[in-house]
Amino acid sequence: MTTDVDVAVVGLGGIGSAAAYWLARRPGLRVMGFEQFELGHPNGASEDVSRLVRNELQLAKVELTDKARDAGAGVGMMAGAAALAWFGLGTLIASAVLALALVLPGWAAALIVAVVLFAVAALLVYLGRAHVKRAVPPMPVEAMNSVRADVDRVKARFHR
């Protein structure tokens, strides 16, 4: 039995299967695909693509988890800064009351406490902002770059 084909696609991994599919959609074009290994074989092209996709998804998951952890730490520090600033405002108000009353020089102590609280709040805002900046944008940049490199390698391999 002789079968005439117009196009033979060798290798039915991800790219080969896509090529065979799109070629077969053309009217009148007879396409045949060939694969060396049976489906699911560890050396088969489709298994390589599946493994590559699983590994890239795992990398993206790890990267997004790290960014979320950094963002959470930064937001927590900024919330702490807001609480300290609130207490600083309360202490500053108490200082103003005591200063106006001029009962005792206790206002000076309250003013010192307020300044210290504001300094700590400023430090927490600075540190929290740095953590939030590291987490933005919340995209798996390393995983995306790795996928681009993988696609470039696959393209280079098939364009020889």
Residue 134 is predicted with a pLDDT of: 81
Find the mean pLDDT for residues 50-74.
84
Residue 103 is predicted with a pLDDT of: 55
Q: Is the Cβ–Cβ distance between 20 and 51 less than 8 Å?
A: no
Whether the per-residue pLDDT at 113 is higher than 80: the answer is: no
Whether the per-residue pLDDT at 26 is higher than 80: the answer is: yes
| Strand ranges (E), the chain | 7-10, 31-34
Residues 51-58: contacts with CB within 8 Å, 24+ apart?
Answer: 52/150, 56/143, 56/146, 56/147, 56/150, 57/143
Q: How much is the mean pLDDT over the chain? A: 80
Distance CA 30, CA 48 (A): 27
Give CA 27 to chain center in angstroms. Answer: 44
Q: Label residue 82 by pLDDT band (50, 70, 90).
A: very high
Q: Percentage of residues in the chain with pLDDT exceeding 90?
A: 16
Distance CA 125, CA 142 (A): 28
Greatest pairwise CA separation for the chain in angstroms? 112
Give CA 57 to chain center in angstroms. Answer: 11
**Helix/strand/coil (H, E, C) string of 65-126?**
HHHHHHHHHHHHHHHHHHHHHHHHHHHHHHHHHHHHHCCCCHHHHHHHHHHHHHHHHHHHHH
46 or 93, greater pLDDT: 93
Q: Which of 54-63, 73-82, 89-98 has the lowest mean pLDDT?
A: 89-98
In a 3-state reduction of DSSP, which class is residue 15? helix
Find the mean pLDDT for residues 85-106.
76
Torsion angle of C-alpha atoms 126, 130, 131, 133, degrees rounded to 10: 130
